[in-house]
Amino acid sequence: MTRLISSAAVAALAALSASCAPVDGMGGPDDSAGASPERQCFTPQHVRNFRQGGPGKLYVRSNSNAVFELNTAGGCTDLDFAQRLAITADGVGLAGGRVCTGDWARITLPGSTSAASTCRARIDRVLTDEEVAALPSAHRP
């Protein structure tokens, strides 16, 4: 059986897809080098490594080797013991789950005493190579 999609639904879907498309300087999902400093992005599924920084700080390294600083606002209680985590963009839709600086995301940690815990984090900024080198080795992803 074939379903017919109305032209209004197709037009709405096309408009939504176009609004989520990359803009000039943002070639791929992990192209943070060409993006403007205000909106550098990464795809959570492409995070290579992470480390907890100071209180409420999480550093993640993307496939493009960029290090992003996330502020968990103190809500992730098991973060210092986590060996794995999941980052999910808030409001996941047609954009594919990409997160950018200034966005909010959910951090899910497998818990030691419960099944899992979830908290929110804001993607604050991308660190420069000098800032990454200046991080203590225990905080550097």
pLDDT tens-place string over residues 103-133: 999 998 886 666 778 889 999 999 999 999 9
Q: Is residue 17 part of a domain?
A: no
Output the pLDDT for position 112. 65
Q: Which one is predicted more confidently, 12 or 40? A: 40
Mean pLDDT estimate for the chain: 75
Contacts of 114 (CB under 8 A, 6+ apart): none
When divided into structural domains, the chain yields a total of 1
Output the pLDDT for position 47. 93
Q: Is residue 5 part of a domain?
A: no
Q: Is residue 24 part of a domain?
A: no
Instruction: For 46-65, write each residue's pLDDT tens digit.
Output: 999 999 988 889 999 999 99
Q: Is residue 23 part of a domain?
A: no
Q: Is residue 9 part of a domain?
A: no
Residue with tokens 């098991």: 78
Output the pLDDT for position 10. 35
Residue 114 DSSP label:
S
119: domain range? 29-134
Q: Is residue 40 part of a domain?
A: yes
Distance CA 45, CA 64 (A): 12
Distance CA 93, CA 100 (A): 14
User: What is the model's pTM?
Assistant: 0.69
Q: Is residue 1 part of a domain?
A: no
Residue 135 DSSP label:
S
